[in-house]
Amino acid sequence: MMRITIRDIQKMKAAGELIPMLTAYDATSAYLGEQAGVPMLLVGDSMGMVIQGHQSTIPVTLEQIIYHSQIVVRATEKALIIGDMPFMSYKVNSDQAMQNAARLMQESEVGAIKLEGGEFIAPTIERMVQAGIPVMAHIGLTPQSVNQFGGFRVQGKDKDTAKQIICDAQAVQDAGAFGVVLELVPAQLAQEITDKLKIPTIGIGAGPHCSGQVQVFHDLLGLFPSFGPRHSKQYADAGKVMQDALVQYVNEVKAAQFPTVDNSSQMSQDIIDEIHRLWR
Ligand code: KIV
């Protein structure tokens, strides 16, 4: 089966078809996302927070992204899989970026990579695209710069920062990015950028006017019952369902209610007699 390509994603914007995108980190999330009809799965460095339990995405390494990307690629057939370039794996200089993007593509066979940054990273994007590496850009709130921003805050609310985000959007399109994530920017700014750009904009906390939306698997399913960012919608209470099931399992084991005969296999009486003789 032929996988969805970056051209198919771009055609969706041209046809006015909204694009759902989701993160995936393992075989389960990848399988469930693809079965639900998600055309583009991102092996996001958000794994640093939702899988590894860090406070930010900064500790995630290239090796970890490659490892999880290999799993997600293996578990899917149709979706376009995008591998996220982690903190400082592409910003030292463009040679470093090229070498690391090449590793991610070759070792995991993702169909595209994503990196954070606008105008300043555009020359690197251009080099990658010329070398045959499809790039999705990511502007607005770029989580790898959380310490520079002083928190996960909405970006582009004033004139100067809004202008910079517009320049970033234009620069990544001109450099050849096939799409751009707009994270935590005001809805009106996201609408403006979506209308002006030819490439699809994929919003997260960027309002309803983007060409598509991306959500973190765990946020969408409510896997952390005590946490849900404002920009995400919790479509299920899966964390609670799972917690209740686990409590029931613990209780049933303690009460000798699990396993039952139905969950066990049996052997014939003559073999049991044989075994008893062995003990003697
Ligand atoms: O790492 C990630 O999951 C992301 C998306 C939230 C866009 O970058």
The pLDDT value recorded for residue 109 is 98
Q: Judge whether residue 226 has pLDDT over 80.
A: no
Q: Judge whether residue 86 has pLDDT over 70.
A: yes
Report CA(183)–ligand 1 centroid distance (Å): 9
Q: Is the CB of 181 under 6 A from ligand 1?
A: yes
Active-site residue (options: 183, 192, 252, 274): 183
Domain range list for the chain:
6-236, 241-278
Q: Is the CB of 21 under 6 A from ligand 1?
A: no
Give the whole-angstrom CA distance, residue 222 versus residue 107: 32
The encoded tokens of residue 46 equal 């958000």
Q: Is the CB of 116 under 6 A from ligand 1?
A: no
Residue to mutate (ligand 1; options 19, 43, 135, 214; most atoms within 8 A of CB): 214
Protein fold of 6-236: TIM Barrel (3.20.20)
Nearest to 60, CA basis, from 50, 47, 69: 47
The overall average pLDDT reported for the chain is 96
Q: What is the band of 231 on the pLDDT scale with cuts at 50, 70, 90? A: confident
From the CA of 44, give the closest atom in ligand 1: 1
The pLDDT value recorded for residue 106 is 98
Atom 3 (ligand 1) nearest CA = 44
Q: Judge whether residue 137 has pLDDT over 90.
A: yes
Instruction: Give the pLDDT confidence of 237-248 residue by residue, as tens digits.
Output: 999 999 999 999
Residues 248/217/101/141 CA torsion (nearest 10 deg)? -130
The pLDDT value recorded for residue 280 is 77
What predicted TM-score, i.e. pTM, was given to this entire model? 0.95
Question: Cβ distance 167 to 118 under 8 Å?
Answer: yes
Report CA(23)–ligand 1 centroid distance (Å): 7
Give the whole-angstrom CA distance, residue 200 versus residue 195: 10
From the CA of 215, give the closest atom in ligand 1: 6
Nearest to 217, CA basis, from 18, 30, 19: 30
The pLDDT value recorded for residue 119 is 98
Atom 5 (ligand 1) nearest CA = 44
Least confident among 26-30, 51-55, 114-118, 276-280: 276-280
Question: Cβ distance 139 to 186 under 8 Å?
Answer: no
Q: Is the CB of 124 under 6 A from ligand 1?
A: no
The pLDDT value recorded for residue 230 is 83
User: Catalytic: 183?
Assistant: yes
Least confident among 57-61, 101-105, 136-140, 150-154: 150-154
Q: Is the CB of 216 under 6 A from ligand 1?
A: yes
The pLDDT value recorded for residue 224 is 85
Contact partners, residue 232, CB within 8 Å, separation at least 6: 204, 205, 215, 216, 219, 220
Instruction: Give the pLDDT confidence of 91-109 residue by residue, as tens digits.
Output: 999 999 999 999 999 999 9
Instruction: Give the pLDDT confidence of 17-35 residue by residue, as tens digits.
Output: 999 999 999 999 999 999 9
Question: Cβ distance 177 to 129 under 8 Å?
Answer: yes
SS3 readout for the chain? CCCCCHHHHHHHHHCCCCEEEEECCCHHHHHHHHHCCCCEEEECCCHHHHCCCCCCCCCCCHHHHHHHHHHHHHCCCCCEEEEECCCCCCCCCHHHHHHHHHHHHHHHCCCEEEEEECHHHHHHHHHHHHCCCCEEEEEECCHHHHHHHCCCCCCCCCHHHHHHHHHHHHHHHHHCCCEEEEECCCHHHHHHHHHHCCCCEEEECCCCCCCEEEECHHHHHCCCCCCCCCCCCCCCCHHHHHHHHHHHHHHHHHCCCCCCHHHCCCCCHHHHHHHHHHHC
The pLDDT value recorded for residue 179 is 98
Report CA(182)–ligand 1 centroid distance (Å): 10
Instruction: Give the pLDDT confidence of 142-200 residue by residue, as tens digits.
Output: 999 999 999 999 999 999 999 999 999 999 999 999 999 999 999 999 999 999 999 99
Q: Is the CB of 215 under 6 A from ligand 1?
A: no
| Count of other CB atoms within 10 angstroms of residue 180 | 28
Cα distances from 31 to residues 4, 18, 66, 247, in angstroms, run 15, 21, 18, 26
The pLDDT value recorded for residue 181 is 98
Q: Is the CB of 84 under 6 A from ligand 1?
A: yes
The pLDDT value recorded for residue 225 is 67
Report CA(29)–ligand 1 centroid distance (Å): 15
